[in-house]
Amino acid sequence: MTAPAPRKRVGVLVSGTGTNLQALIDAAKAIDYPAEIAVVVSNVPTARALQRASDAGIPTAVIPHGDYPERAAFDRAVLEALARHRVELVCLAGFMRLLGREFLAAYEHRVLNIHPALLPAFPGMHAVRQALRYGAKISGCTVHLVDEGTDTGPIVAQAAVPVLEGDDEASLAARIHAEEHRLYPLALRLVAEGRAAVQGREVRVEAAPAAEGLTLRNPGS
């Protein structure tokens, strides 16, 4: 019998509430999940996400960006924290800082982000508000690899939700959030298992049948 592959060590970077972190923590409890959360790093000392990590017995590091005069120095401090915990993959989960070239070179094609829109539509801040403002009929969430742009990296997985009559920002955001919590663990699984290969601007996902929930769902289903 061959031994199971060692679980990939993941660092999760957060700034806020951490419901996506929680989804990853919960997913990683499954014995066959291919990743474990080795450390949670926050640039905000009061982030609720830190408490979630502590409650789960996961080490945390607080690195306030204001302590660093330059972004590169902040990035290096985060890299050092990740190295201390032998992190192999990085998940941004509501992390409100852009990462620079040096950081991304250190983790090339190994930094994931989740965004509350169907990219490339509505990148940046206030994505949910923008979708409503444009009268989008479908929105959703995207997990992508991080590059130097804002929400521009190659797409790993997406999930769609309907925009319903009478939706406001809170109701649509809640519907999207529920899908995020499903999608992020699935996408991390694909990457951790080496089933998401980067080819130019594209991520080719190997053997991701609809049953894994990575395809568009009918609004009514």
Could you list the active site residues?
115
User: Residue holding tokens 């568009």?
Assistant: 216
Q: How far is CA 48 from CA 20, 28, 43, in A?
A: 12, 19, 12
Q: Is 130 in the site for ligand GRF (CB under 6 A)?
A: no
Contact code string over 157-186 relative to ligand GRF, x by CB under 6 A: --------------------x--x------
What is the DSSP pairing of strand 89-92 with strand 202-205? unpaired
Q: Which stretch binds ligand GRF (CB under 6 A): 16-24, 64-72, 83-91, 156-164?
A: 16-24
Q: Is 16 in the site for ligand GRF (CB under 6 A)?
A: yes
Q: Is 114 in the site for ligand GRF (CB under 6 A)?
A: yes
Continuous H helices in the chain: 19-27, 48-55, 71-84, 101-106, 127-133, 169-192
Query: Which two three-digit tokens encode residue 64?
Result: 């306030």
Q: Which stretch binds ligand GRF (CB under 6 A): 50-58, 72-80, 103-111, 114-122?
A: 114-122
Q: Residues binding ligand GRF: what is the number (CB under 6 A)? A: 13
Q: Is 17 in the site for ligand GRF (CB under 6 A)?
A: yes
The nearest distance, CB 180 to ligand GRF, in angstroms, is: 5
Judge contact between 65 and 97, C-beta under 8 A.
yes
Return the residues of window 198-217 that contact ligand GRF according to CB under 6 A: none
Q: Is 94 in the site for ligand GRF (CB under 6 A)?
A: yes
Q: Is 20 in the site for ligand GRF (CB under 6 A)?
A: yes
Which of 12-51 are b and which e, b meaning 16 or more Cβ less than 10 Å from the residue's Cβ? Answer: bbbbbebbbbbbbbebbeeeebbbbbbbbbbbbeebbbbe
Q: Is 153 in the site for ligand GRF (CB under 6 A)?
A: no
For ligand GRF, the closer CB: 159 or 208: 159
Say how far apart CA 59 and CA 69 lie, in whole Å. 26
Binding site for ligand GRF (CB under 6 A): 16-20, 93-94, 114-116, 141, 177, 180
